[in-house]
Amino acid sequence: MNVVGESVKLVMEQDPLRPLVLGGDHSISFPVVRAVSEKLGGPVDILHLDAHPDIYHAFEGNKYSHASSFARIMEGGYARRLLQVGIRSITREGREQGKKFGVEQYEMRTFSRDRHFLENLKLGEGVKGVYISIDVDSLDPAFAPGVSHIEPGGLSFRDVLNILHNLQGDVVAADVVEFNPQRDTVDGMTAMVAAKLVRELTAKISK
118 pLDDT exceeds 80? no
Nearest to 33 by CA among 125, 127, 131, 121: 131
- The residue among 46, 24, 5 whose CA lies nearest residue 172 is 46
The region of weakest confidence among 73-77, 130-134, 162-166 is 162-166
Superfamily of domain 2-206: Ureohydrolase domain (3.40.800.10)
CA distances from 88 to 7, 96, 103, 166, 201 (A): 33, 15, 15, 22, 23
Query: Do 177 and 23 meet the contact criterion of CB atoms below 8 Å apart?
Result: yes
CA distance 154 to 195: 19
pLDDT band at residue 35 using 50, 70 and 90 as cut-offs: very high
Specify whether the CB–CB gap between 52 and 10 falls below 8 A: no
Helices (H) and strands (E) in the chain, counts: 7, 6
pLDDT band of 1, cuts 50, 70, 90:
low
Mean per-residue pLDDT, 1-6: 83
**b/e burial code for range 110-138 (CB count within 10 A of at least 16 → b):** ebeeeeeebeebebbeebbbbbbbbbbbb
State mean pLDDT over 27-46: 97
Alpha-helix residue ranges (DSSP H) falling in 83-147? 92-100, 115-119
For residue 105, what are the β-bridge partners?
A: 84
**Domain ranges, ordered by start, for the chain:** 2-206
Give the pLDDT confidence of 40-94 residue by residue, as tens digits.
999 999 999 999 999 999 998 999 999 999 999 999 999 999 999 999 999 999 9
3-state helix, strand, coil in the chain (%, to 5): 40, 20, 40
Give every strand in the sheet of 44-49, ordered side by side: 20-22, 171-177, 130-135, 44-49, 79-87, 104-107
> How high is the pLDDT of residue 186?
92
